[in-house]
Chain A
Amino acid sequence: MANPQSSAQVPVTVLTGYLGAGKTTLLNRILSEQHGKKYAVIVNEFGELGVDNDLVVNADEEVFEMNNGCICCTVRGDLIRIIEGLMKRKDKFDGILVETTGLADPGPVAQTFFTDDDVKARTRLDAIVTVIDAKHFFGQLEQGSEAEQQVAFADVILLNKTDLVSADELKKVEDKIRGINRYAHIFRTQKSQIELDAILDKGAFDLGRILEFEPDFLHSGHDHNHGDEVASLSISADRPVDPDKFQKWMGALLQIKGPDIFRSKGILAIDGAPRRYVYQGVHMMMDSDWGSPWKDGEARSSKLVFIGRNLDGDNLKRGFEDCLK
């Protein structure tokens, strides 16, 4: 619905997670299992995969900063090139998996799919899947911001190696993940064992499937956020949204807070519009479209979700309320 070409676009799944979390195990499973599908895999380390496949491409994670000088506006130019190259093949494939290095920021990968027209025409970002080592997660959080960011960006989280921790420890890890990102699907796994349809073809970035993907999306949560931690919050409203005011507010917000906002999405009940207005963003980049129509008698409520650092929930709430009729 959001894009009439979506059926012809190859879905791309981004696989993040620390070194040793289980990404390679998962990739090897996807490539070797009998599922009747063919995947191209873009990896950063050749030779780690045990599968011999000419659709495995080595990438160096070449990130460039865009000319606007903004620190968060970074793109994987190598990914654009590789996707263009893969599309020249006679043999087509059902999906693309992009593995990132253990310390990678998922931002540039995701932003590549907002930036390049050719990539947008031929592929669609399906979901960001983050694999977490249950035993080492807390240690990794202390080493730097990467582990936290990888959780913050995720649509799907494989909480892996659950057999190596106690039930108590596991709960602590899961609570911590939820504290950062309460909207991702979490699957507890061992040896990256997961049904592939739990992680592939999720449509997490599909504007037409925002409602379907977010189980809690229309249930407003109670959000509190302290300090400079990464957290997620949602804001909802029952009064219709003034589109001009919203655009102005959101534009200014992303201009100032864009580097701190990892993911944002929303469904808006625009004043007088018969359809939902849906959007999806990564840092300052955003796609939006008209979604499904409101049914007769349906409560027209709006909801915004932010996942980011230093989010001031009260300020965001006030800002959004000023956009209402």
Chain B
Amino acid sequence: MKLDLANPAWQQTLPPARSLATDAPVAACAFSRDGNTVAFALGDGQVRQMPADIKAPIPDATPALHSGVVMALIGDPVGDGFVSGGDDGRVLRVALDGTATELLVQKGKWVEHLAAHRNGAVAAGVGRTMFAIKDGEVREFGPHQSTVAGLDFSKDGGRVACAHYDGITVWSIGQVVLPPRRFAWRGSHVALKWSTDGKFIATGTQENDIHVWRVAQATDMRMQGYPAKVKSLSWTADARFLYTSSQPVFTAWPFAGKGPEGKPPLQFGDEGAGLMTVVAAHPTAEFVAGGYDSGELQLGDIKTKRSVVLKMADSSAITCLAWAPDGFRLAVGNDRGDLLVIDLRR
């Protein structure tokens, strides 16, 4: 893996990319498990798929799968297609030919959050309930005190954490039924990410801060001082840093050693591009991608504190980012409906 941010060519030219304009806001994007296909969740019900290879021909659009907005999209953990959730209350398994089979229907509800584990389990946040779907079996967890506003699997795939008002709930989803664990903190939690080493659960709150719990010890910490609510969180592959959105630069809290308490976050990157709306740590190396409300996209390197612009600002906020499993390609969606796949090999 060589992404050379110090190379002048990286500073001066945008990397090769493929873009496709649609006319519906992009809510989410994801790569397939094998990394060969990328898909975008659109505000007109379409799951738009295309080859990850930016030179391969793009197939025609397939009919809309959901009746309203596709709100959530992930790579299928048991295949090379995708799993989507919509405001029509359906969770669909989407094949590469654009056909779909229904995994779950909750009429009148929105499927706003999906997560998957490589053991094949899918978790869906639907209203106040979390559904765990595995091997054709659907199990229900909840209801929580308010709508699930974020969810994620533990490292081993045996638990799912759900964010809601006044804290989070961790459910054991294995065959042995254990009581859920509650971690309390007042207010509305609007994003959740379990650390890649399984030790921490982080949430972003409506009131402009982030909250992190040590799962084993049930102790917690709060990091304040954001100018907006924090809706995007991303742990590095080695769990040494937690990246957070809602700052003008890359903002990483250090979790190695004694943790971030009493320390300032590491901040780097080019200021002046607006506020970061989405952040995505690289799946294997020490890079990070950040999309801004201005439409700008930056790639950062935490080791050298350098950053380069991958896409110029264009007044349409970036809404989603996804790295291919090999870390060479990056998918980007924005508020206006532009679908972008960037190839970082040069």
Which residues of A come within 8 Å of B, CB atoms? 46, 54, 57-58, 60, 62, 64-67, 69, 75, 77-78, 80-81, 85, 87-91, 115-118
Q: What B residues does A87 contact at CB under 8 A?
A: 25
Interface residues of B in 188-228 (CB under 8 A from A): 188, 190, 205-207, 228
Which residue in B71, B188, B207 is a CB contact (below 8 Å) of A88? B71
A85 touches B188 (CB 8 A): no
B147 touches A116 (CB 8 A): no
Which residues of B come within 8 Å of A, CB atoms? 23-25, 27, 42-44, 67-69, 71, 87, 108-110, 112, 127-128, 146-147, 149, 165-166, 186-188, 190, 205-207, 228-229, 337
A77 touches B188 (CB 8 A): yes
Q: Which residue of B lies closest to A117 (CB)?
A: B228
Closest approach, in angstroms, between the C-beta of B41 and any C-beta of chain A?
Answer: 9
Once the chains are docked, how many angstroms separate the CA of A77 from the CA of B205?
Answer: 11
Tell me whether chain B's interface is mostly helix, strand or loop, or mixed.
loop
B165 touches A54 (CB 8 A): no
A88 touches B147 (CB 8 A): no
Closest approach, in angstroms, between the C-beta of A288 and any C-beta of chain B?
Answer: 19
Closest approach, in angstroms, between the C-beta of A41 and any C-beta of chain B?
Answer: 13
A75 touches B188 (CB 8 A): yes
Question: Contacts A67-B207, A85-B69, A116-B229 given: A77-B43 contact, CB under 8 Å?
Answer: no
Question: Contacts A62-B165, A67-B187, A117-B228 given: A89-B69 contact, CB under 8 Å?
Answer: yes
A54 touches B68 (CB 8 A): yes
Closest approach, in angstroms, between the C-beta of A121 and any C-beta of chain B?
Answer: 9
Which residue in A66, A75, A81 is a CB contact (below 8 Å) of B147? A81
Could you write out 23 A-B pairs with CB less than 8 Å apart? A60-B127, A62-B147, A64-B187, A66-B207, A67-B205, A75-B188, A77-B146, A77-B147, A77-B190, A77-B206, A85-B69, A85-B71, A85-B110, A87-B25, A88-B25, A89-B24, A89-B25, A89-B69, A90-B337, A116-B206, A116-B229, A117-B229, A118-B229
Q: What A residues does B44 contact at CB under 8 A?
A: 89-91
Which residue in B27, B71, B146, B228 is a CB contact (below 8 Å) of A64? B146
Q: What A residues does B42 contact at CB under 8 A?
A: 90
Q: What A residues does B67 contact at CB under 8 A?
A: 54
Closest approach, in angstroms, between the C-beta of A40 and any C-beta of chain B?
Answer: 11
Question: Contacts A64-B188, A88-B43, A116-B229 given: A80-B206 contact, CB under 8 Å?
Answer: yes
A62 touches B186 (CB 8 A): no
Closest approach, in angstroms, between the C-beta of B277 and any C-beta of chain A?
Answer: 10
A78 touches B146 (CB 8 A): yes
A90 touches B43 (CB 8 A): yes
Once the chains are docked, how many angstroms separate the CA of A91 from the CA of B25?
Answer: 10
Q: What B residues does A57 contact at CB under 8 A?
A: 110
Q: What B residues does A64 contact at CB under 8 A?
A: 146, 165-166, 187-188, 206
B147 touches A90 (CB 8 A): no
